[in-house]
Amino acid sequence: MERKIPEHIGIIMDGNGRWAKQRNLPRSEGHKAGAKVFRKICEYAGEIGVKYITFYAFSTENWRRPPEEVEALMNLFRDYLDEAEERQEENKQKGMRIHFIGHREGVPMDLISRFETTERDSRDADKIDVNIAINYGGRLEIVDAVKKIAHKVKDGEINPEDITEQDISDNIYTAGQADPDLIIRPSGEYRLSNFLIWQSAYSEFWFSDILWPDFAEADLDKAIDDFNNRNRRFGGV
């Protein structure tokens, strides 16, 4: 039987710090190696027909890390934005539509305006939607959605009794996208860490001891093969 490719995959890119420590390198080198793997997996996912992929790049809790580590991560995002601008044509050919999801407040201003440029420049691509979660927290995402809905109630557009699950789905950062079928977390941790908590209600989870900078195309294939052996019932029998 032909294997089924998950429509949406979520990935928690974990283990960069430990990867660096094993090599006596600063943690920022682990993130740098992780950013390379992010690019590689992004491309591979598009090639094999994944329609949406969401990467957890920086959580609302990650601001608690040492300032030099936070700065190193912000600089990796800046490098990626530079590259997205330089390689607009190439990205268009690969069909990557890029979205930055997360709470904008608190993110350095220069990044926010460039998020918007990159999103606009890639708007017409239609092979794969790539969500990069920065200053992202699943609970905050739900709070942000509730605020939007509360404004609609206040303006008389919605009656509180008529609010549905679909209204929440329509007001979260991934509005209009399929929910993740598969969530991958490497590095031997078995937690969701506030990632896509609304969207993952029926997701399959795949864990592995591999550290994110060592994650290869073959690991994505393995996760997809295992996903194919799961029996998804969505609450039915």
Active site residues: 14, 62
Q: Is 11 exposed, middle or buried (0-12, 13-18, 19+ CB in 10 A)?
A: buried
The window from 43-51, 74-82, 142-150, 166-174 that contacts ligand FPP (CB under 6 A) reads 74-82
DSSP symbols for 178-193: PPPSEEEE-TT----T
Regarding 132 and contact with ligand FPP (CB under 6 A), the answer is yes
Q: Supply the minimum distance, in Å, between the C-beta of residue 36 and ligand FPP.
A: 9
Among 80, 100, 215, 227, binds ligand FPP (CB under 6 A): 80
| Helix 67-86 / helix 109-121 crossing angle, nearest 10 deg | 30
84 binds ligand FPP (CB under 6 A): no
For residue 10, state whether it binds ligand FPP (rule: CB under 6 A): no
* Position 100 contacts ligand FPP (CB under 6 A): no
DSSP for 59-103, written as a single string: ETTGGGS-HHHHHHHHHHHHHHHHHHHHTHHHHHHHTEEEEEES-
Selected from 14, 141, 181, 219, the binder of ligand FPP by CB under 6 A is 14
Residue nearest to ligand FPP (CB): 17
Task: Give the nearer residue to ligand FPP in terms of CB position, either 17 or 46.
Answer: 17
Based on the shown chain and the rule CB under 6 A, indicate whether residue 35 belongs to the binding site for ligand FPP: yes
Q: How far is the CB of 107 from ligand FPP (least distance, A)?
A: 13
The alpha carbon of 187 is separated from its chain's Cα centroid by a whole number of angstroms, namely 17
Q: Give the C-alpha distances (Å, rounded to integers) separating 137 from 7, 62, 231.
A: 22, 10, 29
Residues numbered 49 to 68 that lie near ligand FPP (CB under 6 A) are: 55, 57, 62
Residue from 8, 11, 16, 101 touching ligand FPP (CB under 6 A): that is 16
Sign of the dihedral defined by the CA atoms of residues 36, 39, 40, 42, in that order: positive
Q: How far apart are CA 154 and CA 62, in angstroms?
A: 34
Neighbour-count burial of 171, counting CB atoms closer than 10 A to its CB (0-12 exposed, 13-18 middle, 19+ buried): middle
CA distance 61 to 106: 12
Q: Which helix (H) or strand (E) holds 222?
A: helix 217-228
Give the pairing of strands 96-101 and 128-136.
parallel
The least CB distance from residue 178 to ligand FPP, in Å, is 21
Q: Quick one: 115 or 149, whose CB is closer to ligand FPP?
A: 115
Which span (27-35, 139-147, 158-166, 194-202) binds ligand FPP, by CB under 6 A?
A: 27-35
Using CB under 6 A as the binding rule, whether residue 182 contacts ligand FPP is answered as no
Give me the residues that bind ligand FPP (CB under 6 A), please: 13-18, 31, 34-35, 38, 55, 57, 62, 73, 76-77, 80, 132, 187
